[in-house]
Structure 1
């Protein structure tokens, strides 16, 4: 597997690229293995394909009594129409792994298959685990000690990871009819309105007394665009709303 699906955090670093690393693919192609020439895919999105259930019986390579993972039973309603592999035909990675059981160095037991599948669902990447984490602070949280403690711990974690450079922290809420975007930088929140000064952490939390505030850790380099200038044209989102250019 690793001969095609490379994991190398320093891949291409010698060329001075901004974000080096191979995480499931090094950009080469699969030659003569399928009905068409395909680029070796990365593996960072496999978790999004979970939900195609079941596979027909009688497929010698993928679902027969001779392979480590054999299960022809009906698995219930599907919640995804496209599964794994290039054509979406496999219901889970273990089904695809059956094809490699014929090789001596291939999969010989279901437990190993499952362990590898679990790894693939959370494969390494050049994004820290905090990227994509989100928390919404609500009015009722401020008056509930237990909820406030949980929210406070989560928001503090997002701040810490942003300050460590693992993500950029943004927040979204509303001011009356307008959406208010914020991006955390230099210990304060820059707002999406050029006429509105930066807000402190406490001030942003107090906004939840009126409207919920949703915090999101986004990928490094995308905080300004996702937080306060969605079309990246240099004019903040709030100003565009005021001028009817939203």
Structure 2
């Protein structure tokens, strides 16, 4: 097996491969298109020139590894992956060395997808598009909804533009639940959904996910979402709308 760092000479081969596997290689596509200067991708080729796997290093912070067992092992041994975050398909995590996972916490992440026409429309609660003026309130709800996982979120971290659209449900003129979508060329994503703990179990998130999917299907035919496997209420909501789990990843993050 031969490992080559992606450059312009092998880009055509790379694009043909990943564009046929968008659901699996999404981050490889997005990061390389949007931030090529801080994205490095190593490709594992077999003896006849076929791609067997890839390793993505984004900003020397995040590593994603995909491919056959042999390719994953070869890539993990060949490239220095001592980064704050490493993601690998759960069934392949033992292919990483103990040093790769040292001082890191493992989180199981489900990747779920939905295709145009598969979504169930549930609009039991009125939602509205959120704007720049809602930035600080969105950040505050992040922190309240999950004070551990989202404790760091500040208003400046909230992206609002033509590719990042936010929907919210308000009670007494206060945002109590929100969801946002990111629209790419090949795919649409719901990065986050959050509900004030005082307003949970009322169907607010279900309505917001449903509206978010309806909006993203105005721009693309494929939707993707990532959710912690342990978050069974969220998984249930996404499945109710029509999402299906296709991969489960082990995400190793440096312990804080």
TM-score, normalised to structure 1, is: 0.28
Higher normalized helix content (fraction of residues): 2
User: Which structure: greater strand fraction?
Assistant: 2
Larger RCO (CA under 8 A, 6+ residues apart):
2
Larger radius of gyration: 1
Q: TM-score, normalised by structure 2?
A: 0.27
